Chain A
Amino acid sequence: MTEERSVEGWSPTIGAGVTLDEVIDLAFDYRGDVTIVRRDGTEVVGYVYNRNRDVPEPFLQLFDPTGASHTLRYAAVRTVRFTGKDTAAGKSYEAWLRRKAQAEESAPLA
């Protein structure tokens, strides 16, 4: 089993080896909340559930924890910080088998 490396906790600087488009793609792929830092310095936290670059004004969409949906143009985004927990990380089948084996070992003998 190869665990995918998570970007949890990453705080990229756009231009330093990574583009905004790439970071937004990663945010869209990320199964945790992120913090979007706008160009004006304000921030919004939430789950990025959509992004579209195939339109004249590329945009991303997120749900904040209150359930409100926000649409932000790429042009208004400075960067994205991966601040929330990656809910897809570390939940392997093997880990379950290991937990099961441990539970069986520690169970009192009948």
Chain B
Amino acid sequence: MTVPLSQMWTVATYVLQQKLKGQARYPLVLMLEPLFRCNLACAGCGKIQYPAHILKRHLTVEQCLQAVEECGAPMVSIPGGEPLMYPEIGPLVKELVVRKKYIYLCTNAILLKEKLEEGMFAPSKYLSFSIHMDGPRQEHDESVCREGVYDEAVEGIKEALRRGFRVTTNTTLFEGASPLRMRQFFDEMMDLGVEGMMISPGYSYSKAPDQEHFLRRQRANELFSTMLARAKRRWRFNQSPLFLQFLMGKQDFECTPWGNPTYNLFGWQRPCYLLQEGYASTFQELMETTRWDQYGRKSGNPKCRDCMVHCGYEATAVDHTFSSWRGFRDSVVATVTGRL
């Protein structure tokens, strides 16, 4: 199965509508974090370090739907924490499907099989499980700091596919990743039958404990160039080919942090999914009062200098596709030929 044409059409028409309206800044994917609680404690994660009373809390379905309504993005990504630990995840997904939002439920998949067996979700073209897989078994288990998680995730993937769900993977790469092992990993994921893969370098959170293993920009370019050189036709990536070219150093993009706005317990996070510089109480306030010029590489902000993360640059790549004939042509050529 590949990305449904209806999803491509929805995204394309949405972006073109924004452009026709002259919207310089528009959201593409809402990052909706209903909770910060997780059943793992990965070394590269800066999302889960909070006092117990914060970890116990979660958004209500009504708060989530209000955020979806305010934001208006055609796609909703549900990370966390671990969204399968959110007690209202079933009803939330159901409501989002009714609203025809394309959902990426980002999970470490430890609970996936159990939730599927409970009948919590129904297959839909709007729902895709985006499984956290940081490489082959050894690399993944090291990255999530627990042995056996890779195998559990593979079980979850198989069960979801068997039941007719859309399944993608989502991989964060850290320093020391082996291009060869990653190429084998892509083969493994394709053999499992996932719809597509998402890859991104990690971001050096100041809160993430593992500061020295994040990729710096030039090293990231080298790694992704080697890894994606002569990409196999059978590898399917669930992301813009122009973003992949950006990771390889073939495109020079600037970050568009408003493309993936983040909503969580604290409100609308400024400026992006990665940095927590403050919160706005409404989406409009976020868009109108965030000092966007202080972020991105050109701003000189040291926190943005080496960032190449998909939540900052994927939306740029999509926007670029629809901003010029060259962008559109590059995108079509890469999609049709599979050449990056």
Q: Which of A44-99 contact B (CB under 8 A)?
A: 47, 49-52, 54, 61, 63, 65-67, 84-85, 87-88, 90-93, 95-96
Asked if B300 is at the interface (CB within 8 A of a chain A CB), the reply is no
Which residues of chain A have C-beta atoms less than 8 A from B50's C-beta? 31, 47, 87
Whether B209 and A50, one on each chain, are in contact in the complex, defined by CB atoms closer than 8 angstroms, is no
Interface size on B, residues (CB 8 A): 25
Whether A32 and B51, one on each chain, are in contact in the complex, defined by CB atoms closer than 8 angstroms, is yes
Whether A1 and B211, one on each chain, are in contact in the complex, defined by CB atoms closer than 8 angstroms, is yes
Whether A88 and B49, one on each chain, are in contact in the complex, defined by CB atoms closer than 8 angstroms, is yes
Give the Cβ gap from B70 to chain A, nearest Cβ, in Å. Answer: 18
Asked if B145 is at the interface (CB within 8 A of a chain A CB), the reply is yes
Whether B266 and A49, one on each chain, are in contact in the complex, defined by CB atoms closer than 8 angstroms, is yes
Give the Cβ gap from A63 to chain B, nearest Cβ, in Å. Answer: 6
- A47-B49 Cα distance, complex, nearest whole Å: 12
Knowing A63-B54, A93-B213 touch, does A50 contact B266 (C-beta < 8 A)?
Answer: yes
Whether A47 and B279, one on each chain, are in contact in the complex, defined by CB atoms closer than 8 angstroms, is no
- A84-B207 Cα distance, complex, nearest whole Å: 17
Which residues of chain A have C-beta atoms less than 8 A from B41's C-beta? 91
Closest to A99 in B: B145
Whether B278 and A51, one on each chain, are in contact in the complex, defined by CB atoms closer than 8 angstroms, is yes
What are 11 pairs between A and B in contact, CB < 8 Å? A1-B211, A2-B212, A33-B53, A63-B54, A63-B57, A65-B51, A65-B53, A84-B51, A87-B49, A88-B46, A96-B43
Residues of A within 8 A of B (CB): 1-2, 4, 28-29, 31-33, 47, 49-52, 54, 61, 63, 65-67, 84-85, 87-88, 90-93, 95-96
